[in-house]
Structure 1
Amino acid sequence: MEPADSPLEEHLRGHLHAVLERRAAQAGVLDVAYRTVDSPLGSLLLAATEVGVVRIAFERQDHDAALDELARVVSPRVLRAPARLDGTARELEEYFEGHRTGFDVPVDLTLAGGFRLAVLDVLRRIGFGATLSYAGVAERAGSPRAVRAVGTACARNPVPLVVPCHRVVRSDGSVGEYAGGPQAKRLLLALERGAKVGG
């Protein structure tokens, strides 16, 4: 078992990381910034490019795996740089507190393509507190028979919460699957039903 770092060593490590973060941003080589935040659903990984939020991952999705995917698909220049995600963290906090019904942060959908983009576009238009069936999403996305593909697109949504795939339910009204787990989906739907926005 390794000895714990002293408070001075921790302070120096934090200072050096802050310098690295600042210099990377100044040099324009901070392609993907990330941070984690606590939420009622557990720890969330947030990542953003200069374009916008590119990834939100639940703890059960394995944050390290999400960072590896970003390094492979978007850029290997990935750095913990919380400041770029302050706005996203603040909006998520307001959402979980019941004071926000939608997200204003810019989104980067680099990790999605093809039919998935059409599905994500439909998801963004499902109102706060409303739900739509997988079949309904397929129809609005222009492919009424692509119900299974809608399920896959929801499961692989790179920015859940901001693009609300939790509002998609089965035709019988049951919640179905969710990247954050069915319990998380139920919690989100209940939160939206009981939110007192603006109060």
Structure 2
Amino acid sequence: MSSPTYYATVDTHIGPFTAIETDGTVLASGWTGTIDDLMEVIHPTLRPAELVPRTELGDVTKAIVQYHEGDLTAIDTIPVLQKSGVFLQVAWDVLRTVPPGSAITYTEYARLAGNPVAIRAAASACARNAAALFVPCHRVLRQDGTLGGFRWGVQIKRLLLKHESRTDV
């Protein structure tokens, strides 16, 4: 990447949340206090050679704070850059259309991504998603309604879904 790449960590009620961005575009993010957890999930062709720490990341940090404070759509306009094959690219775009409080199953997710039989590929898209929160893979559940896995832990997934289902926000 030719532009400077920055990272910052925000304390949230769910735990520390770190984002890596360049030019206001999120490359990776998640509920962690360390960039090492995020660097490994950035596609090798997008992985920055150098990261510059910041106390905040402008609109990215603002969206993180607003989301955790209850504005569940604050993350929707933040650009994200991930790279993979066609199905995963489409699948990640689809996740950004799932509204807060409207969890879908992996089967529904595969259908929405254009390949109804690609349930395992849909699950893989969640597992390989580098930009957690901004690409809300936590909104995908197993067919039986159970949570399934989540890179940042099932307890965080549960807290996110509970946060998004609140009716007082």
**TM-score, scaled relative to structure 2:** 0.86
Task: State the alpha-carbon separation in 2 of the partners of residues 41 and 73 from structure 1.
Answer: 31
Q: 1:34 maps to what in 2?
A: 7
Q: Give 1:156 shift.
A: 1.3
Cα separation, 1, equivalents of 2:43 and 2:96: 26
**Structure 2 alignment gaps of length 5 or more:** none
Kindly provide the CA deviation profile for residues 62-107 of structure 1, in whole angstroms up to 9, marking residues without a partner as x. 6324236659532313211345x12111111111111333422222
Higher relative strand content: 2
Higher gyration radius (CA): 1
Q: Conserved in 2, the CA contact under 8 Å of 1:49 and 1:108?
A: no
The 3-state SS of whatever aligns with 1:43 is: strand
> What is the alpha-carbon distance in structure 1 between the residues aligned to residue 42 and residue 5 of structure 2?
8
Cα 1:173–1:69, aligned 2, differ >3 Å: closer, same or farther?
A: closer
Q: Is 1:48 aligned with 2:37?
A: no
SS at match of 1:191: helix
Deviations 1:140-188 (A, max 9, x none): 1111111111111101111111111111001111111111111111101
| Match 1:138 to one of 88, 91, 110 | 110
Q: Report if aligned partners of 1:131, 1:167 keep a CA contact under 8 Å in 2.
A: yes
Judge conservation of contact 2:30–2:133 (CA < 8 Å) in 1: no
Is the 1:56–1:159 Cα contact (8 Å) retained in structure 2? yes
The percent of aligned pairs where both chains have the same amino acid is 33
Maintained 8 Å contact 2:18/2:32:
yes
Q: CA separation of 1:134/1:165 partners in 2, compared to 1, >3 Å: closer, same or farther?
A: same
Pick closer, same or farther for the CA change 1:59–1:49 going to 2, 3 Å: same
- Counterpart for residue 170 of structure 1: 142
Equivalent of residue 183 in structure 1, options 155, 159, 162: 155
Cross-structure match for 1:120: 92
Report how far residue 194 of structure 1 moved. Answer: 0.8
Matches within 5 A, 1:86-101: 86-101=58-73
Distance 2:37 2:143 in 1: 32
- Where is the helix percentage greater, Structure 1 or Structure 2? 1
User: What is the TM-score normalised by the length of structure 1?
Assistant: 0.74
Alignment length (residue pairs): 167
